[in-house]
Structure 1
Amino acid sequence: MFSKNRSRKAVRFRRKSEINVTPLIDVLLVLLVIFMVISPQAQTGFKTQVPVPAPPGPEQKREEAIVLSLRGDGTIRINQELLELSGVMPRLQEIFRTRGDRTIFVQADSDLLFNDVATLIDIAKGAGAEHVGLLTEQLSAR
């Protein structure tokens, strides 16, 4: 009889090892509502204004891009014109006087130090360049 009584107490005080799913479902529903409210607002994006280009007229000619190139042997060229380092700034200033676009592209050999390229960029900025782009060799697809 003692063993029967003991087994009843053990059964009466045994804990349930089940997970209560109700709070989990409540949290999931709240998160679902939050994402449903936020998602339409996240898809609006940014408002930008793109300038409308002027229609090309007969007097409007396309300006050639200015490419400032530095070779490994120390030669400097603006497009195809060979220059010394001291003549780069005056020539760029002369070019920028007649142009509306003050963008310049710098192309350098890969074996040069970046300090040499940075010097050319500084000269271009000092001459009035507003935007400087770096040109690289096109990589071949493997």
Structure 2
Amino acid sequence: MIELDDIDRQLIASLARNARQSASALGKRYGLSQPATWRRIKRLEEAGVLGDQRLRLDAQMLGFGVTVFLGIKLARKAHVSLEDFERAVAAIPEVQTVEHILGLYDYRLRVVARDLPDFERVLRRRIMTLPGAGEVEANVLLSEERLAGPL
């Protein structure tokens, strides 16, 4: 585990809110030079504290009006490997996240679709045909609030 000081924690919090900030702007905010800030950020990246920077797309604005969380229990009789299931589900473009979980279901998927008929098509033709797919529970997302802050 990497040792973090107060400035590292402040940089992490600032970058979690907006990863597009320049090292120069962050340095001014925290009393560091641009090179010193850049070195700190690079050190945090190399240590794995800071991961990939990604754009957060608005699914609604892109025509995906429905988000569904699926709980999937693998069929025990199918003898499918977890890797085979994960590889197959990751190839479905409507599946945004795949989480292997402990509990009632084996996997939780976040699936986007244009509307409910489109979701039904994805469910019937893609998800229910996955190797080892057993019980499925669907929960339609009504609204989403994002908590501010890193963790």
TM-score range, shorter chain: under 0.3
Greater share of strand residues, 1 or 2? 2
Normalised by the length of structure 2, the TM-score is: 0.23
Q: Which has the higher contact order (CA 8 A, sep 6+)?
A: 2
Normalised by the length of structure 1, the TM-score is: 0.24
| Greater C-alpha radius of gyration | 1
